Amino acid sequence: MADRASETVFTYVAPSLKFGDGASAEIGHDLRTLLGPQGGRRVLLVTDAGVAAAGHPARVAEGLVAQGFEVTVYDETHVEPTDASLARAASSARDAGPFDALVAVGGGSAIDTAKAVNLLVTNGGDVLDYVNAPVGRAQAPSQPLLPLVAVPTTTGTGSESTAICVLDVLAEHVKSGISHPALRPSLAVVDPELTLTQPAGVTAASGMDILGHAVESYTARWYGDFEAKQAGQRVPFCGANPIADLWAERAMTLLSGCLREAVADGSDRRARHDMALAATFAGMGLGNAGVHVPHANAYPIAGRVRDFRPADYPDAEPMVPHGTAVSLTAAEAFRFTFDAAPERHLRAARLLDPAAADRPDGPDVLPSVLTAVMRDIGIPSGLAEVGYGEADVDALVEGALAQQRLLATAPKPVTPDDLAGVFRASMENY
Amino acid sequence: MADRASETVFTYVAPSLKFGDGASAEIGHDLRTLLGPQGGRRVLLVTDAGVAAAGHPARVAEGLVAQGFEVTVYDETHVEPTDASLARAASSARDAGPFDALVAVGGGSAIDTAKAVNLLVTNGGDVLDYVNAPVGRAQAPSQPLLPLVAVPTTTGTGSESTAICVLDVLAEHVKSGISHPALRPSLAVVDPELTLTQPAGVTAASGMDILGHAVESYTARWYGDFEAKQAGQRVPFCGANPIADLWAERAMTLLSGCLREAVADGSDRRARHDMALAATFAGMGLGNAGVHVPHANAYPIAGRVRDFRPADYPDAEPMVPHGTAVSLTAAEAFRFTFDAAPERHLRAARLLDPAAADRPDGPDVLPSVLTAVMRDIGIPSGLAEVGYGEADVDALVEGALAQQRLLATAPKPVTPDDLAGVFRASMENY
């Protein structure tokens, strides 16, 4: 038998996938297949008002009705869900239900809300019963969840592939998550045509989220470098592994040829198609490997926003879009993690920008590729541009340290001082 | 909207996966997770006598019992299942059941038998009710199947990833299949340690099966080159596509560094690990793209065997191992399909053998790489060596033509004359 002191096992789970222009027209058929010929016919469609205005949820609902389903639409998803918004959505679903299946049409907020509603209507209890410890009580569901079909309309979140729901816990001013294999959608339907209406600013920010998923899961701690786990200790995110690598590498190759193009011309169907494919692939990788420092940092960067209002987002509330928040410290985070896995950092840089092969090896190669992308697609230059300064560093570090689940996937130990250094160096990236 | 005359959509479905040395020790835990805390505890473990003699099924059963399951072992799987052997297995399961889940430990025969048993005990009827038309009645199951965990002990079949059960229909002297998404295992547990006892001849033949899965799914007709399908017309095998490509390419790269090594030294743990990974990856690709001419030809090559008895296989019955049967016409089949997708054939050759990059482009590159592998690992040189001659060509063509489901995935139309040419040129490959 092999030495069992180090981990020898990795796991891989992903939703079934239907991908391509027009795929979202077939959801009625797909849901009937999922539920079986004798299955139920009451569907809760979860979306948000902005996505609903673009007409996609209505078209999906029509397709469901044509296949004999009864559809109830919930379009009050809060963009960046909170414990309160999830509780409201679940309460609404309980009043209108029971349902036999859920369909989520939208960005990560709609899909994550559908995951939480699914959990709460099938297993009861409060949101905080299920939120990761120590913020919540980290209960596992005891009852099976309903089939959930995820239809992303934003290319980037990866939520259609993951077993996690991200939320703001309002009383504690902290972002946290609910994480359990049962939350993962049964089927992801990715239709690039649904993203043609996505504004440039949203494409840019969510593109940086895709990039973060790919590069972070590729540079995450190798699964075999963890201590061996018992069966009951396994977690959805097991670190970089041979399968997550496949997805991450191809996602980076795709991004090198479509991210700038999709931001520059949203009607470029080839670029939209490849962005949707890159988002899907990066989600498949991250959904098993996990992400690390840039995503941990993104929680307090988004959570502590004061008055930054990005272009192309609804301007009712100040916000740092998730993908922007991920990108702002990414260059410095990868400069910090470089020495733990130099080959992977260099290869990531060269997949994202083949011209980087001409540059001498070193910790600056990947950061320079990332900042060039940020500059070219109009991402803020750093933390200063979204309103943070030296005085905020301690609070940002504290917020990132709360994401121990993510920091544990970093390729090297991360101290508070390390994080403070990353935040300080990220005030201006270019 | 895009032009819908050509297909724009591809699908991707795969089992959940647990991979690595020692993974098979955790199946009790995994099955409890699949069934839920309130789920049942009666398990049917399907294996064959040869695998049982190696001790793996007993160890898996012990692990299940330790987690509170009751295990019934069925070890009478027929190597190369027949309609009669599947009916016997189902009958035995009905007598001993009901069961809450199935675990298959073995090669493709055990896993395919478990798929058929699962179908028959949950949905009733006879084997031929479900076999692909025109051999059978191609009924779809109306009732849900039980969770099935597949534990391959032979690196190669891909059965753990696919939604198909291959069988000999005795009365018609033909190989056919049962194909439905519900047949796909819920979880594949791939433990390279279980393959350490696999004899060299089995490693070689099943290695050629892996190679066939990878190269055939990579050179299959591109999904976008089919006519657009309606939702209800979609089939598990949708042709080459961006996701199947990922798996196939990496499988070929892995094979280039482990197939000869694993055959030469079965105790080479690195080679065994990479063979198991290559088999898994090739299975993930083939399970969605499909295979074509070499696999179609393999059916009559195996089905019409007279007295060939390969080394390292039980010698009770004459047989051409499936992987050997796939390989015997592969070189000529790819010479025939070359002009439909030259770049893919050349890239496959160069992934399998980087030295092939030095050879001038052309239809001979991939065949020469394949025949070199066959010669080096002791695969028969061609159809003549397993007992076929010119007089058998018509019958072989007829048998391959019966596999229209596979021929439809070829990158170009395949006529009876084309097949006859491939068989004739495959009497001696080296």
CB contacts, 8 Å: B37 with chain A: 142
Q: Is the pLDDT of residue B1 over 50?
A: no
Please name the residue that has the structure tokens 């042709």.
B239
Q: Which of residues 215-244 of A touch B (CB under 8 A)?
A: 231-232, 242-243
* Residue A51 sits in the same domain as residue A85: yes
Are A1 and B22 in contact (CB < 8 Å)? Answer: yes
pLDDT of residue B38: 79
Residue B143 touches partner A, C-beta closer than 8 Å: yes
Q: Distance from CA of residue A49 to its chain's centroid?
A: 20
What is the per-residue burial (b if ≥16 Cβ within 10 Å, else e) of B91-118?
A: ebbeeeeebbbbbbbbbbbbbbbbbbbb
Phi, psi of A173 (to 5 degrees): 50, 45
Strand, helix or coil for residue A164: strand
Q: What is the 3-state secondary structure (H, E, C) of chain B?
A: CCCCCECCEEEECCCEEEEECCHHHHHHHHHHHHHCCCCCCEEEEECEHHHHHCCHHHHHHHHHHHCCCEEEEECECCCCCEHHHHHHHHHHHHHHCCCCEEEEEECHHHHHHHHHHHHHHHHCCCHHHHCCCCCCCCCCCCCCCCCEEEEECCCCCCCCCCCEEEEEEHHHCEEEEEECHHHCCCEEEECHHHHCCCCHHHHHHHHHHHHHHHHHHHHCCEHHHCECCCHHHCCCCCCECHHHHHHHHHHHHHHHCCHHHHHHCCCCHHHHHHHHHHHHHHHHHHHHHCCCHHHHHHHHHHHCCCCCCCCCCCCCCCCCCHHHHHHHCHHHHHHHHHHHCHHHHHHHHHHHCHHHHHCCCCCCHHHHHHHHHHHHHCCCCCCHHHCCCHHHHHHHHHHHHCCHHHHCCCCCCCCHHHHHHHHHHCCCCC
Q: Confirm whether B17 is domain-assigned.
A: no
At position A217, the amino acid (one-letter code) is S
Rounded to 10 deg, the angle between the A242-256 and A200-219 helix axes is 150
CB contacts, 8 Å: A29 with chain B: 231-232
Q: Confirm whether A15 is domain-assigned.
A: no
Closest-CA residue of chain A to B6: A21
Instruction: Give kind and range of the element (H or E) at residue A91.
Output: helix A83-96
Closest-CA residue of chain A to B184: A16
Residue B391 touches partner A, C-beta closer than 8 Å: no
Cross-chain CB nearest to B14 (options A14, A29, A36): A14
Residue B23 touches partner A, C-beta closer than 8 Å: yes
Phi, psi of B78 (to 5 degrees): -85, 130
Tell me the residue length of chain B: 430
- Alpha carbons B110 and B194: distance in angstroms, whole number: 15
Instruction: Give the tens place of pLDDT for each residue, A289-347.
Output: 999 999 999 999 998 999 999 988 877 789 999 999 999 999 999 999 999 999 999 99
Strand partners, A166: A177
B256, two tokens: 């280039």
Q: Is the pLDDT of residue B102 over 80?
A: yes
Are A18 and B11 in contact (CB < 8 Å)? Answer: yes
Closest-CA residue of chain A to B15: A13
- Give the mutation candidate from A12, A183, A195 for the B interface (greatest B CB count, under 10 A): A12
Q: Distance from CA of residue A51 to its chain's centroid?
A: 18
Instruction: Give the tens place of pLDDT for each residue, A176-228.
Output: 889 998 999 999 999 999 999 889 999 999 999 999 999 999 999 999 999 98
Strand, helix or coil for residue B340: helix
Strand, helix or coil for residue B36: coil
* Residue B183 sits in the same domain as residue B209: no
Q: Confirm whether A10 is domain-assigned.
A: no
pLDDT of residue B173: 78
CB contacts, 8 Å: B142 with chain A: 36-38
Of chain B, the percentage scoring pLDDT greater than 70 comes to 99
* Residue B282 sits in the same domain as residue B257: yes
* Residue B229 sits in the same domain as residue B103: no
Are A2 and B8 in contact (CB < 8 Å)? Answer: no
Q: Is the dihedral of CA B78, B79, B82, B86 positive or negative?
A: positive
A170, two tokens: 């309002």
Q: What is the CATH number of the domain that holds A139?
A: 3.40.50.1970
pLDDT of residue B37: 77
pLDDT of residue B172: 84
* Residue A131 sits in the same domain as residue A47: yes
How close A408 comes to chain B (CA, Å)?
Answer: 21
Instruction: Give the tens place of pLDDT for each residue, A348-382.
Output: 999 999 999 889 999 999 999 999 999 999 999 99
Q: Confirm whether A333 is domain-assigned.
A: yes
| A275: nearest Cα among A355, A163, A198 | A198
B334, two tokens: 């790819």
Furthest C-alpha separation in chain B: 62
Q: Number of residue pairs across A and B with CB atoms under 8 Å? A: 108
B427, two tokens: 């009497």
Instruction: Give the tens place of pLDDT for each residue, B337-363.
Output: 999 999 999 999 999 999 998 899 999
* Residue B253 sits in the same domain as residue B156: no
Residue A36 touches partner B, C-beta closer than 8 Å: yes
* Residue A174 sits in the same domain as residue A255: no
At position A398, the amino acid (one-letter code) is E
Count of structural domains within chain A: 2
Are B17 and A22 in contact (CB < 8 Å)? Answer: no
Q: Is the pLDDT of residue A261 over 70?
A: yes
- Span B22-38, mean pLDDT? 90
Instruction: Give kind and range of the element (H or E) at residue A187.
Output: strand A187-190
Closest-CA residue of chain A to B143: A36
Please name the residue that has the structure tokens 């209960």.
A139
* Residue B242 sits in the same domain as residue B341: yes
Instruction: Give the tens place of pLDDT for each residue, B315-325.
Output: 778 999 999 99
Q: Confirm whether A178 is domain-assigned.
A: yes
* Residue B173 sits in the same domain as residue B208: no
Instruction: Give kind and range of the element (H or E) at residue B208.
Output: helix B200-219
Strand partners, B152: B106
The residue ranking higher by pLDDT, B181 or B421, is B421
Average pLDDT of the residues of chain A? 93
Whole-angstrom Cα Rg for chain A: 20
CA–CA distances in Å: residue B314 to residues A215, B33, B51, B202, B253: 49, 37, 11, 11, 31
Instruction: Give the tens place of pLDDT for each residue, A53-67.
Output: 989 999 999 999 999
- Span A258-283, mean pLDDT? 96
| A121: nearest Cα among A89, A150, A151, A149 | A89
CA–CA distances in Å: residue B366 to residues B374, B407, B426: 12, 20, 15
Instruction: Give the tens place of pLDDT for each residue, A130-145.
Output: 998 888 999 999 888 9
CB contacts, 8 Å: A10 with chain B: 18-20
Choose the final residue of a domain: B131, B156, B190.
B190
What secondary structure does DSSP assign to A360-428, as a single string?
A: PSSTTHHHHHHHHHHHHHT--SSTGGGT--GGGHHHHHHHHHT-HHHHTTSSS---HHHHHHHHHHTS-
Strand partners, B278: none
CB contacts, 8 Å: A38 with chain B: 142-143
Are B17 and A11 in contact (CB < 8 Å)? Answer: yes
pLDDT of residue A234: 79
* Residue B180 sits in the same domain as residue B272: no
Choose the final residue of a domain: A167, A190, A213.
A190
- Give the mutation candidate from B19, B35, B229, B351 for the A interface (greatest A CB count, under 10 A): B19
- Asked if residues A319 and A313 have their Cβ atoms less than 8 Å apart, the reply is yes
At position B50, the amino acid (one-letter code) is G
Q: What is the CATH number of the domain that holds B347?
A: 1.20.1090.10
CB contacts, 8 Å: A285 with chain B: none
The confidence band for A1, taking pLDDT boundaries of 50, 70 and 90, is very low
Q: Confirm whether B176 is domain-assigned.
A: yes
Phi, psi of B138 (to 5 degrees): 55, 35
- Asked if residues B136 and B182 have their Cβ atoms less than 8 Å apart, the reply is no
* Residue B248 sits in the same domain as residue B147: no
| A193: nearest Cα among B193, B98, B8 | B8
CB contacts, 8 Å: A26 with chain B: 9, 231
Instruction: Give kind and range of the element (H or E) at residue A269.
Output: helix A269-289
pLDDT of residue A105: 97
Residue B55 touches partner A, C-beta closer than 8 Å: no
Residue A5 touches partner B, C-beta closer than 8 Å: no
pLDDT of residue B4: 53
Q: Is A362 left (phi over 0), alpha (psi -120 to 50) or beta?
A: left
Furthest C-alpha separation in chain A: 62
Choose the final residue of a domain: A190, A208, A228.
A190
A244, two tokens: 């997550």
Instruction: Give the tens place of pLDDT for each residue, A306-317.
Output: 999 998 887 778
Q: Is A6 left (phi over 0), alpha (psi -120 to 50) or beta?
A: beta
pLDDT of residue B367: 98
Most confident of A47-56, A137-146, B419-428: B419-428
At position A203, the amino acid (one-letter code) is T
The residue ranking higher by pLDDT, B385 or A79, is B385
Residue A12 touches partner B, C-beta closer than 8 Å: yes
pLDDT of residue B88: 97
| Residue span of the structural domain in which B76 resides | 23-190
Closest-CA residue of chain A to B277: A242
Cross-chain CB nearest to B242 (options A10, A36, A277): A277
Closest-CA residue of chain A to B37: A142
How close A131 comes to chain B (CA, Å)?
Answer: 20
pLDDT of residue B2: 45
Closest-CA residue of chain A to B142: A37
- Asked if residues A367 and A345 have their Cβ atoms less than 8 Å apart, the reply is no
Q: Confirm whether B11 is domain-assigned.
A: no
* Residue B140 sits in the same domain as residue B246: no
Q: Is the pLDDT of residue B3 over 60?
A: no
Residue A138 touches partner B, C-beta closer than 8 Å: no
Q: Is A75 left (phi over 0), alpha (psi -120 to 50) or beta?
A: alpha
**Burial (CB count <10 Å: 0-12, 13-18, 19+), residue B55:** exposed
- Alpha carbons B271 and B413: distance in angstroms, whole number: 37
Strand, helix or coil for residue A82: strand
Residue B427 touches partner A, C-beta closer than 8 Å: no
**Burial (CB count <10 Å: 0-12, 13-18, 19+), residue B14:** buried
Q: Confirm whether A405 is domain-assigned.
A: yes
